[in-house]
Structure 1
Amino acid sequence: MKVAVLDIKGKETGRKVELSDDVFGIEPNNHAVYLDVKQYLAHQRQGTHKSKERAEIAGSTRKIKKQKGTGTARAGSIKSPIFKGGGRIFGPRPKDYTQKLNKNLKRLARKSALSIKSKEQAIFVVEDFNFEAPKTKEFKEVLKSLGLENKKSLFVLGDSNNNVYLSSRNLKRSEVVINSELSTYKILNAGSIVLMEGALEGIESNLTK
């Protein structure tokens, strides 16, 4: 599958690149996509949630009233969960939410996500560019030229580029990653994928091992 290479002004350069059908043209595996997205979202959870239970509350253990004759229910320590300020019953405890997936399944999920975007014609290939200094204004001009100014977009670089990354950091709808950071969730979460020309080789190499 051949795709035209654009410049940062959104115009065709006259060159075309071949996108591998093994990466951008497979039949999507929806279950693999589901598992990979589920793992990504699970890994965003810190798992540090904790509430104090009865044994962890600071307070007296004295029985607060006699067992019988009060006309009310029996009550022991003030730390009982039925009282305000008492411990919590079955409260949250720290938990590790990480999930394990094998590498082949994760590759299949990413290839499926890229193939979905390819079928939607939501993948652009742009020649490599750089800014002299980090400037959000210049990055917004690139978005405007590509017709992505008010749309969710994901820019994939071949190598780390601090000026481009910092220029995009203040924009909520745009994200910049290098090819090794590409994930199924990020691909599907973006409306359009902008691939730098220098990122293609790394993407295809990573996903066809």
Structure 2
Amino acid sequence: MFMDLATEVARNVLVLTVYFIVVALVFNRAFQSLDKLVNFETDAAYLNKQLSANKLQDILNVKFSFAEKYELDELHRLCMSIENKSKDVFVEIDWKQCFISDFDKRIRRAIRVIPGKNEAAAQSPSMILPGQTLKEEISDEKIGSPLFEPKKLQAAADKTDYFYLRLLLKISEANVGGRSCNLRCQFIAKNLSWQKALVLALQPK
């Protein structure tokens, strides 16, 4: 009986040892990834102010989607969705007058991309009819390449800096006529927190 107890204790110690080794490896991997992973979020407060300033808050619902994490050279495109909530307002995006910035706030052309392909779609204007939603992937003129140099993105994430996308919209309203407005959307780059890195490291592949 004593031998059985000793064997059981030894087995439990072995299991605990293996468990703590695995946990230590997971923690180590999570912390090692921190200097290589960033995430992005839309500056929602700024976007809402822009919509309000351009009298678009009751017309448009603008959304951007990002993955939970990115390596420094992994962000190639922005995924955008614009819903025309109105019943009688027509919205047009003039892609030839749309720009995306870097973290030094220098701008370059924003380019519509064919989803899943490293090539540009036609840069003719996009019309969003009342009740319809436009979904686009947007890059710069170097389609297929990272939007930002890894070193500059890392420096920006260290400062929680932002870049922006400027869209030129043409609004046609019944009994009002047409108008143009610049809608500027800001995106904040951040270093991935160690808590988030740990959660992602624990997720099954």
Tell me the TM-score range normalised by the shorter chain: under 0.3
> Which one has a bigger Cα radius of gyration?
1
* TM norm structure 2: 0.23
* TM norm structure 1: 0.22
More strand by share: 2
